Amino acid sequence: MELPVALDPASHDSLQGQLFDQFRGLVLSGRLRPGSPIPATRELSQQLGVSRNTVLLAYDRLIAEGYLQTRPAVGTFVSPELPEKSLTLEAGMRPGLATQVRTSARRKIAFRGQAQAVVTSQAFDYDFRLGQPDPRSFPARAWRRLVNRVLVAAETRFTEYRDPAGMPQLRRVIAEHLGPARGIRVDPGQVVIVAGCQEALNLVARLLLREGARVAIENPAYQGSAFLFRSYRAKFVPVPVDANGICVEALPATGTAFACVTPSHQYPMGFTLSLERRLRLLDWAQRTGSYIIEDDYDNDIRYHGSPLAALMGLDSSGSVIYVGTFSNSIGAGLRLGYLVVPPHLVAPARTVKALLNDGHPWLDQAVMAEFITGGAFKHHLRRLRRMYGARRDCLVENLRRHFGEAALSGTESGMHVAWQLPGGFPRATGFQAMAARRGVGIYSLPSGPACDFGGCAYSGRTVILGYSSLDERGIEAGIARVAQALDAWRRSGRPE
């Protein structure tokens, strides 16, 4: 029996792979029917002029995937049941053909909420979007090398459930990193690996929020946290911020589940919470029995001097829950962050993580652990600080060149600045629209994404500018276009 098979030695595909593909095609097309005998390996190798081992390997794969089956002392045959049948429904069983259930009979979903504006469909020539690292900054070469290294030692790690709190080695190196970097001395057991800040905040909400619970939150605040807590039907207590951070004296005296703050680089205004207010905030938490959620979303990017100790590093009462992420330092696509909880919350936090998703993917954790352990993370951060620092300087210089002494906040750290527009400028939303028509993305607070709870002193006159994803040439060109848009607006004599 000869088969209509032709192999091409010059093909990029191996002979074994070609044989498998062509054999599978003959089976699926019906030219080899279920139950039909097939040639012995020696016979087919002679027909094709290839080694018998090539045919054996192709047959082994066809048997393993269910296209062929062997009968001892009889031969090898096409399987009566092909694997494709187990992967697709029969036409009469497809959901689209089933009797439709009246939607009015369904219960309404319990969830109520909206997503934050982290993704935009609008394309700009120059986009000063927030929280977007330069794609070229991703350490692709080192990452590829580490992926290959950890895959060699993977063994059963892809097929087994592991500790839902995360890989022990990664939790250990994160704890070691936080000591000198943020003044936080914790046991690795207090660290929970999560999919970025957003999952960390979700985990905290599962731990602490009940419907109607009161949450103190900065005004303005990060949309992601505000919209999340609102979806749990929390009641907000908006607290104003100024150049020294959250105004502690405006915090409620009783009845608050927690206060959510961004003390290192207030989102979105960029203010740094002063040491005096940090101590007063910790005292408030201890007196009221409230927790503090410390969202340290861009703590690794600082340009001058030593940062103030994190709230958790100053806490002696177990009041602070710390949120960190690698989204800004490595990349948001990695979806990797961490939560640090006080000792008495370790067990419930681990349980919540297990219920959410049984733990973060092993490979990403293993690579990140190696990246930090080998010193590559520190080298990467030094490179980012130099690069982003130069871009921040370029942005500040160009704003002042075109607009005079621009009132900026948040220049000491992070990846964005807040520009408080002076008199004689349009309002922030109008200014954003003018720039957009010139192909430049700048952002008012609501599109930042930020959340204004009303009564915010900064909303109408503040524009947010991220500078991490644009090089100096792009920054110069983008700000020049914004200046041209303002000049055209002024010449038109339009009122604010």
State pLDDT tens for residues 454-489: 888 898 899 999 999 999 999 999 999 999 999 999
Q: What is the pLDDT of residues 2-59, one digit of tens each?
A: 788 888 988 888 999 999 999 899 888 888 888 899 998 899 898 889 999 999 999 9
pTM of the model: 0.82
Other Cβ atoms less than 10 A from the Cβ of 298: the count is: 25
Which residues in 49-142 belong to E strands, given as ranges?
68-71, 75-78, 126-127
Q: What is the pLDDT of residues 225-238, one digit of tens each?
A: 999 999 999 999 99
Here the tokens at position 446 are 């609501």
Average pLDDT in the 416-423 region?
A: 94
Most confident of 93-97, 102-106, 349-353: 349-353
Q: Return the H-helix or E-strand segment holding 276.
A: helix 275-288
Yes or no: say if 67 and 83 are a contact pair by the CB < 8 Å rule: yes
Residue written as token pair 């503090």: 292
Average pLDDT in the 445-453 region?
A: 84
Question: Which pLDDT belongs to residue 173?
Answer: 97
> What's the mean pLDDT when you consider all of the chain?
90
Confidence of residue 86 (pLDDT cuts 50, 70, 90): low
Confidence of residue 104 (pLDDT cuts 50, 70, 90): low
Q: How far is CA 425 from the centre of its chain?
A: 35
Radius of gyration of the chain (CA): 30
Q: Which of 477, 132, 41, 112 is nearest to 332 (CA)?
A: 132
Q: Which residues contact 119 (CB under 8 A, 6 or more apart)?
A: none
Here the tokens at position 160 are 């087994």
Lowest mean pLDDT, pick from 110-124, 187-201, 290-304, 411-425: 110-124
Q: What is the pLDDT of residues 151-164, one digit of tens each?
A: 998 888 888 888 99
Q: What share of the chain is helix, strand, coil (3-state, %, to 5)?
A: 45, 15, 40
Domains and CATH numbers, the chain: 15-86 (1.10.10.10), 126-130+379-492 (3.90.1150.10), 138-377 (3.40.640.10)
Yes or no: say if 274 and 245 are a contact pair by the CB < 8 Å rule: yes
Average pLDDT in the 248-259 region?
A: 95
Question: Which pLDDT belongs to residue 101?
Answer: 53
User: What is the spatial distance between Cα 278 and Cα 25, in angstroms, rounded to a whole number?
Assistant: 69
Q: What is the pLDDT of residues 332-353, one digit of tens each?
A: 889 999 999 999 999 999 999 9
Question: Which pLDDT belongs to residue 496?
Answer: 43
pLDDT at 91 over 70: no
Question: Which pLDDT belongs to residue 167?
Answer: 95
Confidence of residue 94 (pLDDT cuts 50, 70, 90): low
Average pLDDT in the 93-103 region?
A: 53
pLDDT at 434 over 90: yes
Question: Which pLDDT belongs to residue 159?
Answer: 82
Average pLDDT in the 257-267 region?
A: 96
